[in-house]
Structure 1
Amino acid sequence: MSDDELDRADPLSGLDATRAAIAEACARAGRSTDSVTLVAASKTVPREVLGKAVGRGLHVYGENRVQEAQAKWPALRAEHPGVELHLIGPLQTNKARDAVALFDVIHSVDRFSLSEALFRQGEKQGRRPKVFVQVNTGLERQKAGVAPSDTDMFLEICRGKHELDVIGLMCIPPVDEPSEEHFVQLREIAERNGLTSLSMGMSGDFASAIEHGATHVRVGSAIFGNRAYPAA
């Protein structure tokens, strides 16, 4: 049976292998598997597949877009109240209200206007999602994130003036560079700011990320197989 045929037969064909790889990476790093949260990147995954995933013990999900999450998750969470929902894609400031209402954790806080909008919506709604600050460790022009040299100051504003519940940092390394150097850089920034959570590592490099201290890995295709994404 080909990989494509296996994906159609079992849309969660990679879940067991992903869990095993996480356990192996934790063993190499001398860490407990409980120290790593698997965030299943569920962009374009149908609700019926997600319901099956919850039934197999997968309880933390990451969506890239607020609108797609709004269409899928309210009904699913009514059926599965233990599910935790993370926003792992970029967030527009004008979507802050919806994001605060829907998500438990936001991984992509990267500018002052967004930090302020999340603060104001948190005050209005009486709800404070946990947040990660996204750091553009590769200084890529096309990619969101705070520059590493500006991160300390940005964190001070987020945690002080805006009173956000910042739990850690997130990065997406450049595709044409070794991920490890970016994982090390993110960990060093987190350590000097007293942060213990690191959202880093995706399907291609999550094992390495765990060995370099990741506490949250965002894994999609390794679990759900290859997917056809709509045009942006």
Structure 2
Amino acid sequence: MIERDSPLANPALEDIRGKIAKAAGIADRKPSEIALIAVSKTRSSDEIRPLLESGQRLFGENRVQEAMDKWPALKAEYPDIELHMIGQLQSNKAAEAVALFDYIHSLDRPSLVKALAKEMERQDRQIPCFLQVNIGEESQKGGCEIKAVPDLLAQARSAGIEILGLMAVPPDNANPVPYFALLAKLAREAGLAGLSMGMSGDFEKAVKLGSTHIRVGTALFGPRDAPAG
């Protein structure tokens, strides 16, 4: 690993950390209880590097192939990076996902449980996972049905997969608070401590409702470029 001086200050990163600390304080929580995942989907290595140089080490990607194109080289340079798979995962990408990612937030069906368990055993690599719940019951979104959480959790545990908690994305343009509260309730009922919830526009509310992992992209990197054409 290349030796570096002290981390460089990054205004956006410091702003997010400050807001996390404030929200945690209101909820009588410690900021250290909340993991900040920088969502780097569609972002180039050059865009990611300033956050790395500022000390950020947790990053989230939505697509396996995109992650494979940029993260092996960055991980070689910064071995303490934690890479989180936060997008929908196809079963036929299980081998690549297990090889590259350190955490998976989108385990949502029995076929994926089988594919991941098979690859974890084959590669002798255990990847902690979150069960993704379709908390808003939206047909276009991934995630298991709310009523399916207990069975899917049992299947994952029987397959030897460590389940840290639950993950969800509330419906767009809706008040996220009831959905965060419902996910927290489901996690408590399942005996799970982890909650992967909260993004750029609502992470402070998620922290107040118990989130342990927030996924922030635009607030850290700025708006994405509009597609050409």
Aligned residue pairs total 219
Counterpart CA distance in 2 for 1:48 and 1:221 is: 16
- The answer to whether the 8 A contact 2:47-2:221 is kept is no
Report what 1:97 is aligned to: 95
DSSP 3-state at the match of 1:174:
coil
Aligned to 2:190: 193
Matches within 5 A, 1:175-186: 175-186=172-183
Deviation at 1:194, TM superposition (A): 1.1
Return the alpha-carbon distance in structure 2 between the equivalents of residues 21 and 230 of structure 1. 31
Q: Structure 1 segments of 4 or more deviating over 4 A?
A: none
Q: Give 5+ residue unaligned stretches, structure 2.
A: 1-9
Normalising by structure 1, report the TM-score. Answer: 0.91
Contact 1:133–1:155 (CA under 8 A) maintained in structure 2: yes
Matched-pair contact (CA < 8 Å) for 1:199–1:215 = yes
Whole-angstrom distance in 1 between the partners of 2:83 and 2:76: 13
Alpha-carbon spacing, 1:212–1:167, altered in 2? closer, same or farther (3 Å): same
Which among 61, 70, 94 is matched to residue 68 of structure 2? Answer: 70
Choose from 38, 47, 52 the match for 2:45: 47
- Equivalent runs, 1:148-227 vs 2, <5 Å: 148-160=146-158, 162-227=159-224
Per-residue CA deviations over 1:101-148 (Å, capped at 9, x if unaligned) read 000000000111011000000110000111000000110011111111
1:29 to 22, 27, 30: 27
Indicate how the Cα distance of structure 1 residues 150 and 229 shifts in structure 2: closer, same or farther if over 3 A, else same: farther
2:72 matched to 1:82? Answer: no
The one-letter amino acid paired with 2:38 is: A
How much does 1:176 deviate? 3.0
What is the TM-score of this pair, normalised by structure 2?
0.93
Q: Is the 8 A contact 1:13 1:225 kept in 2?
A: no
Higher relative contact order (CA 8 A, sep 6+): 1
Mean Cα deviation higher: 205-214 or 168-177: 168-177
1:9 aligned residue: none
Distance 1:106 1:64 in 2: 10
**Contiguous gaps of at least 5 residues in structure 1:** 1-11
